[in-house]
Amino acid sequence: MSPNFNTLTAKQKKVYSAIETYMKQNSIPPTVREIGEMIGEKTPGAVQGILNRLEQKGVIKREIGMARSIKLLSDNTLYANPVYIPEIKKISKRNVNDLLNMYNISKYQPVSPDLVSADENCFLATCPDNSLMDSGIKYGDMLIISMNSSLKDGDVILVMYDGHVLLRRYYIGEQPGTLVLKADSNLLNKEVFDSNEIVMIGKLTTKLTMF
């Protein structure tokens, strides 16, 4: 049964429209703060109250304790449900081979299914350096990293070398057992590595800007 939008007040329709517009532009639901900014409501409690009423009237659904979990309940919805992937806290020598342990997961973030599939082994991490800044990837950017993607020359990968996490462009080395890891500016003065010097973490699939 489709939701009855005729029962909504003007303010409730305004909030619903803001959610719908945000999802159309970003492919993920907005936060309470973002909804407030869109409708000109500075009080989070007031926005929460409207969302509660929308949920009671059956036009949206939310998951308790999960950010960006709003779903529009309509038989004619144009928006696919997001895929939730783990955002990890850190990458270190101690956990590099067990990044997705429960103690290293900060939260699960919603991502458009156009960017990652539900069965793909991915996580979110912050960019560790400015080595690819000229390519538009800078320190602190949120990155989706796939742990089971095949590699080809030119792919951007996340690796650990000598205890440091690096973001580099990958190329097959000329000598057997070697690889070339290039940065926009060669901070290490080293580009050719033996494969046993490197811990391969994963391949960059997407840079996000909405978190």
The pLDDT confidence band at residue 210, using thresholds 50, 70 and 90, is very low
Strand order in the sheet with 198-208: 105-111, 83-88, 122-126, 142-146, 198-208, 156-161, 164-172, 178-182, 192-194
Per the prediction, the chain carries an average pLDDT of 86
- Residue 102: how many CB atoms within 10 A of its CB? 6
Same fold flag, 5-72 and 84-208: no
- 194 has a pLDDT exceeding 90: yes
Please report how many Cα atoms fall inside a 13 Å half-sphere around the Cα of residue 118, on the Cβ side. 4
Fold type of domain 5-72: Arc Repressor Mutant, subunit A (1.10.10)
Cα separation of 120 and 6, whole Å? 40
The pLDDT confidence band at residue 17, using thresholds 50, 70 and 90, is confident
Cα separation of 140 and 83, whole Å? 22
What angle is formed at CA 94 by the lines to CA 91 and CA 95, rounded to 5 degrees? 50
- Residue 44: how many CB atoms within 10 A of its CB? 13
CATH 2.10.109.10 fits 84-208, yes or no: yes
The pTM for the full model equals: 0.65
Closest to 98 measured CA to CA, from 109, 110, 90: 90
Please write the tens of the pLDDT for every residue from 92-142: 999 999 999 989 998 887 777 777 776 678 999 999 989 999 999 999 899
Higher local confidence (pLDDT), 123 or 26: 123
Q: What percent of the chain has pLDDT over 70?
A: 91
Please write the tens of the pLDDT for every residue from 174-193: 999 999 999 997 667 889 99
Q: Where are the domains of the chain?
A: 5-72, 84-208
Please write the tens of the pLDDT for every residue from 57-74: 988 999 887 778 898 886
